[in-house]
Amino acid sequence: MLDADENETLAALLAWYREMGADEAVGETPIDWLVHGAAAPGAAVRERIVVPAAAAAPAAISAATPLAAPRPGSAQAASRPPPAGHQPSRPAPAVSREARSFPSAPPDVSQLAARTAATGAPSLAALEAALRSFDGCGLKATAKNLCFYRGAERARVMLIGEAPGRDEDLEGKPFVGPAGQLLDRMLASIGLTEADVHITNIVYWRPPGNRTPTPQEATVCRPFLDRQIALVAPEFVIPLGGAAAKHMLNAAEGIMRLRGRWQAGEFGGHPVRILATLHPAYLLRTPAAKRLAWRDLLSLKAEI
């Protein structure tokens, strides 16, 4: 039993973890990567991790629990120490679990491997199989599921978001949470259903704590996305939100400058027209911006 003080400390620590973006347990036991020296995370920790049976407190209160990276805007906050009074915990529950391995290859090697795996894929099913056996993107280590796509295999309109969130990670499909439901309603307003479109993201695994994927993570996934676009063969590519728009348009400007302007592009050798628009998650937080998204939707409707 924890006493009142311990309870309070534990609650404060968990609240702090949540604020930092660590809103989900990705393992039952904490892994202290630092004790493995300079080796790449995971490379040296293939042995089974067995923790003593007499343990009582949840693994989450161990000082060694790795933190998920913070949500955008909370970068400095992530370096804050845990709440005062926090004591490194007693041993974790008796659990035996194999550590998941993280990719250790340098980014250019991972990207080359991605290109080799993706370009040879003759179908979406083959591309999905290639993605499932690809270990070059670190996001895979913490995600529960691969989120490849939802919608039609071939479509005139392809929508590309930022990254799977919690609901998507659980279901293994892009845009199935509240933002996805709004996206479906937006598409319905211009007469499109899931059967008319192909929906995916610039990365295929959920970033821990729902942070924005890094440019490196997006870049390493890019050969798969380029091949996916070539296989789906859309006429129109619609990046949703700033991260997707910048990545797909290779641009530095913000979404408010990029949105609403048709541009020509080519992915995996396939020519498309690109129209960036606002992310439905942003529209849920900022309903006043819906009129801008509506303008973009009407512009898409006029073309199809």
Residues at the interface with ligand URA (CB under 6 A): 161-165, 168, 174-175, 177, 179-180, 201, 281
Q: Which is nearer to ligand URA, 45 or 155 (CB)?
A: 155
Q: How far is the CB of 84 from ligand URA (least distance, A)?
A: 36
Q: How far is the CB of 179 from ligand URA (least distance, A)?
A: 4
Residue among 23, 22, 44 at smallest CA distance from 33: 44
Q: How far is the CB of 177 from ligand URA (least distance, A)?
A: 6
Q: Which is nearer to ligand URA, 9 or 201 (CB)?
A: 201
Q: Which is nearer to ligand URA, 96 or 193 (CB)?
A: 193
Q: How far is CA 257 from CA 25, 186, 253, 254, in A?
A: 38, 21, 6, 6
Residue of this chain nearest to ligand URA (CB atom) = 161
Q: Which is nearer to ligand URA, 10 or 237 (CB)?
A: 237
Residue 275 corresponds to which tokens in the numbers above? 């129209």
Q: What are phi and psi of 280, to 5 degrees?
A: -60, -30
Letter string b/e over residues 134-165, b meaning 16 or more CB atoms within 10 A of that residue's CB: bbbbbbbbbbbbbbbbbbbeebbbbbbbbbbb
d(CA 297, CA 147): 25
Q: How far is the CB of 34 from ligand URA (least distance, A)?
A: 32
Q: How far is the CB of 198 from ligand URA (least distance, A)?
A: 13
Q: How far is the CB of 200 from ligand URA (least distance, A)?
A: 8
Q: What are phi and psi of 166, to 5 degrees?
A: -65, -50
d(CA 243, CA 201): 10
DSSP string, 79-126: GSPPPTT--PPSPPPS-EEEPPP---S-HHHHHHHHHHHHHT--SHHH
Q: How far is the CB of 147 from ligand URA (least distance, A)?
A: 6
Q: Which is nearer to ligand URA, 201 or 277 (CB)?
A: 201
Q: Which is nearer to ligand URA, 16 or 282 (CB)?
A: 282
Q: What are phi and psi of 28, to 5 degrees?
A: -85, -20
Q: How far is CA 145 from the centre of its chain?
A: 11
Q: Which is nearer to ligand URA, 62 or 201 (CB)?
A: 201
